[in-house]
Amino acid sequence: MAKQLKVTWSKSTIGCPETQKKTIKSLGFSKLQQTLVKEDSEQLRGQLNKVNHLLTIEEID
């Protein structure tokens, strides 16, 4: 089974650049404190690295 990541949007995007706001939306978040489970991939890791200061990320097996 492929690794999965549990990603929680934990901090607001107020004051962040527009590109970071768009990255949060493209990840599938719509509300603060929302948690999503995503399949681990290089593309996902790149997006998460761009906004990692706004997220809480956990690996799950």
User: Which domains are present in the chain?
Assistant: 4-60 (3.30.1390.20)
What is the model's pLDDT at position 2? 74
Q: What whole-number distance in Å separates Cα of residue 16 and Cα of residue 50? A: 12
Q: What is the pLDDT of residue 1?
A: 56
d(CA 61, CA 59): 7
In this predicted model, what pLDDT tens digit does every residue of 3-22 receive, in sequence order?
A: 999 999 999 999 999 999 99
Eight-class DSSP state of 31: S
Helix (H) or strand (E) holding 59: strand 55-60
Cβ atoms 10, 54 nearer than 8 A: yes
Residue-wise pLDDT for 21-52, tens only, equals 999 999 999 999 999 999 999 999 999 999 99
pLDDT at 61: 80
- Pair 8, 15: CB distance under 8 Å: no
